[in-house]
Structure 1
Amino acid sequence: MNKHVDKQLRMSRYTSILDNGLRVELLPMPGYHKTYAVMSADVGSVDTDFTLSDGSQVHLPAGTSHYLEHKLFEKKDHDAFDLFGKLGADSNAFTDFTRTAYLFSTTSKLHQCLDVLLDFVQDPYFTPALVNKERGIIASEIRMYQDQPSERLYMGMMGNLYPNDPMHNDIAGTVRSIQQITADDLYQLYDAFYQPANMSLLVVGKLDPEQTMEWISDNQSRKEFRPGYQRPSSLKIADPSGHDVIASGQVKMPVHRSSVMVGLRGVQQFENGRERLKYRLSAELLLALLFDENSDNFLKLYNQGIIDDTFGYQFEMQRGFHFACFSTSTDKDDQFIDSVRQILDQADKELISSRQQFNMIKRAWLGRLIGLLDSPETVAERFAGKLYDNALLTDEIACLKGISIDDLSSVINQLIKPGHLTTYKVLRQN
């Protein structure tokens, strides 16, 4: 087990890659009473088409990863949620585009909770009857999201940005696609991606690192896994240049006020996760500089009635793709679109005169990230596994310190391309 000490932040990190390939990260936080554990698999909703190591091709229905996440808790004679409950622990799981995670929090019985987590994730039990039982639940979840204007706005924008890629599908799939999912599909996805070498386990908070690592190692030594695992190749972008972006789209819904979203697709590729992390932080700093509520751009648009308190922006980065988006509820949707375009087009000029604002925003962000270290839950939830080469919050802080205003200029040159921009509107029905 390797130990790394961040002397400035006074935190120790313990890392070990077990014989079966599972990467274990331990971050003890003395003085805290709660412990969080997150077990992640490098697979998500976009991994529907992939090639196995023997060259065979696999195609699965949209929503299979999310479906598997739901069913993995349920076993032949028990449900993992119930086991956590009996131990006094809270448990949950989530699926995003490129990652699936299973987690728990506890103030006691850490050993038993770790065993439950490792055992239920590494012991799949899928039957036709259990799979069929879930269809109505997930279909209701999908329909609920389809009735939400914000979800329709976001997925409409994604459909425009990635019309020929799986990102245009909801993470849960569609009502039609989930009808096609079988128990065999779940086993096929599980066998391809839920191998220890494609997974990681992070434990944060109250823990003894030596003892905790011993518990995890003992659990894994009692199990057999496929030797020589090779992760399937997946998510090949249909048009890496981004020329297939659809310029605009809209839908009408029974809403009180129309809303609009502008999406900007990035096409920059990265050789490693730490480059990806630096790019993401630089892009987020750039967007804050241009659109934060204290910026001149925000105040101008707000005073003109083009945006209101519903305005928001975000930068999303996942394995193989990334994008920025900007949204608001407004009666001046075309003016909002034109204003966002103009701000992005003039970003390089604004950056020249914004060195002081950059330093202020960067210091504020550093303070915010350092403050997040007080929360074991946040430290655990920000861990993105292989996406950023297993970077923890402490690594984010170190990376952010090294970012200069020139890095923001590079993001402008790489990200802001007029042909990669789309708009989507949710309009009020008359």
Structure 2
Amino acid sequence: MERIYDDVLHEEIYINSYPNGLRAFVIKKKNFSKAFAGYATKYGSVDSKFIHPRTNEVVEVPEGIAHFLEHKLFEEREGNVFDRFAKFGAMANAFTSFKETVYYFISTQNFYENFEILLDFVQNPYFTDQNVEKEKGIIAQEIRMYQDNPNWKVYFNLLNALYVEHPVKIDIAGTLESIQKITKDDLYLCYNTFYHPSNMIVVVCGDVDPQKVFDMIEKMTKTKEYQKLIERIYPEEPDRINQKRIEEKLAISTPIFYIGFKDVINDLPPYEMIMKDIHTQILAEILFGKSTDFYEQLYKEGLINQSFGFEYNCEPEYSFFMIGGESKEPDRVYERILEHIEDVKKRGIDKEEFERAKKVVLGSQLRKFDNLEKLSVEFIYSYFKGVNIFEYVKEISSASFEDCQNRLKSLFDEDKSCISIVLPVQ
């Protein structure tokens, strides 16, 4: 067991590595009444094509299978896992993203009993032809529900406009057609490949005994042998966007929109990816933050409201920036944003604004350390990217004015931008 204490952040973390490749982390939070535990695999919706680590054969499975697996793991031969957690007073859940699947619980009591349940059910899949067929109907209903969700629709329409080939453009749950192709054998194949300890981590955050946590993992881990790394296969993605504008009509009162910028600077070493992310966050705050003159002007003109915000998704294989919200004139907002970016490119970034934005970004990151769930999930995301979240926070202060200027030019290219709009049904 390794102990690391961060003198700057005053955070204490314990790390344990196991021969089968599993790594476990305990972020010690003294005097916290609540505790979080997550069991995560580096396996998400984009991982539908890969080289099998034992046979070396290329395998391609139906879209949506990672999300399908997440659903099915909660079902047991004698019922479902939620009942077991409820008995010990824990709130349990899971989520599938583009790159990872995370199973977790939060509790204020009976931590070790709940932790045992987490370690147990994630390692014991129970798939039958009958329960797989039944789940197809449930997930199909979920997909239809999301198709009618304007925020979900505007988001995935944006990804369809940004990306030509990459599977990030495909709904995490898959499609109505793809889930019908999923079989029990497909689920076991993907489970045995991606739910191997060498592709997983355990993260615990709270006032718990690290040694006891690590001993429980050692005792309960079923797979003992190491597995070589899984090689994912992604299609070659061109730099260009797929389409400039996409719109749809749903039952809403006010149009909603996202404007996207496709980032073509990817496949970077971890440190460079950290700095790219930091510079983008600072730059976004300078350009579009709620304290900027630009935001204030659009707000006064009635072009945006409090829903206006931005997000940067930074992964080793793909990255994109998006900004949006509600507006009665989304195309006009798009036009104004492009004009604003060009204006800032011409006159340059203000140094005082740069320093202010750094403080805002730093404050936003530090606040995550007071929220067990946010901190733990951010830790998982960062770890699977090869990034240390504690180093990320400390590197914000080293962000340079010149690099931020260069980032403005490299990311915000009008030719690599597009807009997705959901309009009210007339």
Task: Name the TM-score class by shorter chain.
Answer: over 0.9
Deviation by residue 1:339-373 (Cα, 9 ceiling, x = unmatched)? 12222334434543x21122122223323433332
Query: Is the CA contact (8 Å cut-off) linking 2:313 and 2:320 kept in structure 1?
Result: yes
Query: Is the CA contact (8 Å cut-off) linking 1:192 and 1:231 kept in structure 2?
Result: no
Query: Is the CA contact (8 Å cut-off) linking 1:27 and 1:203 kept in structure 2?
Result: yes
Q: Which stretch has the larger CA shift, 19-28 or 132-141?
A: 132-141
Structure-2 separation of matches of 1:371 and 1:331: 33
Query: Is the CA contact (8 Å cut-off) linking 2:21 and 2:226 kept in structure 1?
Result: no
Aligned to 1:374: 370
Deviation at 1:23, TM superposition (A): 0.9
Structure-1 separation of matches of 2:278 and 2:311: 12
1:400 aligns to 2:396 (yes or no): yes
Deviation at 1:305, TM superposition (A): 2.5
Deviation by residue 1:279-305 (Cα, 9 ceiling, x = unmatched)? 222211111110011111111222223
Structure-1 separation of matches of 2:48 and 2:171: 13
Aligned to 1:238: 236
Aligned to 1:182: 183
Question: Which stretches in structure 1 are left out of the alignment for 5+ residues?
Answer: none
- AA aligned opposite 2:169: H
1:42 aligns to 2:39 (yes or no): no
Within a 5 Å distance, the mapping from 1:267-282 to structure 2 comes to: 267-282=264-279
Structure-2 separation of matches of 1:254 and 1:46: 30
Aligned to 1:92: 93
Deviation by residue 1:196-246 (Cα, 9 ceiling, x = unmatched)? 1111111111112222222222222xx234x3412332252432x422532
Query: Is the CA contact (8 Å cut-off) linking 2:263 and 2:411 kept in structure 1?
Result: yes
1:301 aligns to 2:298 (yes or no): yes
Q: 1:248 to 1:110 in 2, by over 3 A?
A: same
Q: 1:207 to 1:266 in 2, by over 3 A?
A: same
Question: Which stretches in structure 2 are left out of the alignment for 5+ residues?
Answer: none
Q: 1:219 to 1:339 in 2, by over 3 A?
A: same
Q: Which stretch has the larger CA shift, 188-197 or 243-252?
A: 243-252
Query: Is the CA contact (8 Å cut-off) linking 1:274 and 1:388 kept in structure 2?
Result: no
Computed over aligned residues only, the root mean square deviation of the Cα atoms, in angstroms, reads 1.9
Within a 5 Å distance, the mapping from 1:216-365 to structure 2 comes to: 216-220=217-221, 223-225=222-224, 227-239=225-237, 241-349=238-346, 351-352=348-349, 354-365=350-361
Deviation at 1:148, TM superposition (A): 1.6
Q: 1:315 to 1:115 in 2, by over 3 A?
A: same
Deviation at 1:36, TM superposition (A): 0.6
Query: Is the CA contact (8 Å cut-off) linking 1:161 and 1:422 kept in structure 2?
Result: yes
Equivalent pairs: percent with the same residue?
30
Deviation at 1:306, TM superposition (A): 2.1
TM-score calculated relative to the size of structure 1: 0.93
Q: Which stretch has the larger CA shift, 268-277 or 115-124?
A: 268-277
Query: Is the CA contact (8 Å cut-off) linking 1:114 and 1:216 kept in structure 2?
Result: no
1:391 aligns to 2:388 (yes or no): yes
- AA aligned opposite 2:406: S
> Secondary structure of 2:76's match?
coil
Deviation at 1:25, TM superposition (A): 0.8
- AA aligned opposite 2:154: L
Deviation by residue 1:179-211 (Cα, 9 ceiling, x = unmatched)? 221111111111221111111111111112222
- AA aligned opposite 1:6: D
Aligned to 1:57: 58
Query: Is the CA contact (8 Å cut-off) linking 2:13 and 2:27 kept in structure 1?
Result: yes
Say how many residue pairs are matched: 424
Structure-2 separation of matches of 1:33 and 1:60: 43
- AA aligned opposite 2:383: K
Aligned to 1:119: 120
Deviation at 1:326, TM superposition (A): 1.5
Deviation by residue 1:239-297 (Cα, 9 ceiling, x = unmatched)? 2x422532222122333222332111111123333332322222111111100111111
Aligned to 2:211: 210
Query: Is the CA contact (8 Å cut-off) linking 1:193 and 1:231 kept in structure 2?
Result: no
> Secondary structure of 1:310's match?
coil
Deviation at 1:156, TM superposition (A): 0.8
- AA aligned opposite 2:22: L
Q: Which stretch has the larger CA shift, 79-88 or 31-40?
A: 79-88
- AA aligned opposite 1:85: A
- AA aligned opposite 1:33: S
Structure-2 separation of matches of 1:246 and 1:99: 28
- AA aligned opposite 1:238: E
Q: Which stretch has the larger CA shift, 405-414 or 183-192?
A: 405-414
Q: 1:271 to 1:14 in 2, by over 3 A?
A: same
Structure-2 separation of matches of 1:230 and 1:84: 33
Deviation by residue 1:45-85 (Cα, 9 ceiling, x = unmatched)? 11111222343121211111001000011122242222211
Aligned to 2:142: 141
Structure-2 separation of matches of 1:184 and 1:338: 50
- AA aligned opposite 1:290: L
> Secondary structure of 1:382's match?
helix
- AA aligned opposite 1:230: K
Aligned to 1:12: 12
- AA aligned opposite 1:258: P
Structure-1 separation of matches of 2:358 and 2:268: 25
Structure-1 separation of matches of 2:347 and 2:125: 54
